[in-house]
Structure 1
Amino acid sequence: MRPDERRSAIMRAVKSRDTKPELVVRRLAHKAGFRYRLHRKDLPGKPDLVFAGRRKAIFVHGCFWHGHDCARGDRMPTQNRDYWSAKIQRNRARDTKNVRLLEADGWSVLVVWECELKDRASLSSRVESFLA
């Protein structure tokens, strides 16, 4: 398999829902006793977890795809660098816009980054304090 075909196969396999980081955050919220809805289409950005009664939403972002400033998010593919740079910038702009729209409508928003899953205890307390 050629390298470009291999990369295409890898990118096709990337999911936007039910990712491992998202499932971890769901388990943490559920274990803490909070119930939620998933990916509500009527809200800007379709937040990953929505706590409608509390007017709170959680986005779970992959560090690479959303341009986080950690080691994983700071990596840029060597091939087609201009495309990826522009794509990640568009993703960041869209994320910022969606958070602003939600907050303007009275929602509280928490963004959980993929790299934050390394410290589950800290993440759990952060999610619980956000939802309390």
Structure 2
Amino acid sequence: MPSINAINRKSRGSTLYPVVVVICYLIQYWLGKYIYFFVPILILALADPMAEFAGRKWKYKPYSIFNNSKTISGSIGFFIIALIISAIGMFYFGNVNPAIMILCAIVIGILTTIGEAVSFKGYDNLVIPLCAVLGLYLFGV
């Protein structure tokens, strides 16, 4: 798996990814709602790479948390994708009032963006989906 581990820092991401897939599967099985699997995993799979891409491409306002370099542009890219995935997921799987859907999508976007910003050494692969699950659960989706 050289392409998965081809990063210049020590990371637990490739180990935690299958663990969080199983955790999300068990949560959706326990709660009986597919949204608890698809939304968290899609946010991790799509928004996390978008943050990396946007952060490298535009490098707008770099900041550091726990000695990890981040950029505002990367965080904004992450937030937008997380917001879109959450809204689409709730539209298809959630059967949620539109006002609640928008509010919940914003909260999930904020929670997962903060989770991505404060995570280090690949732990974002665990933190991001769990933040998404928390957001969905708080709104009773």
- Higher helix proportion, which one? 2
Indicate whether the TM-score tops 0.5.
Answer: no
TM-score, reference length from structure 2:
0.35
Give the number of the structure whose residues are more often strand, by fraction.
1
Considering Cα pairs closer than 8 Å and 6+ residues apart, tell me whether 1 or 2 has the greater RCO. Answer: 2
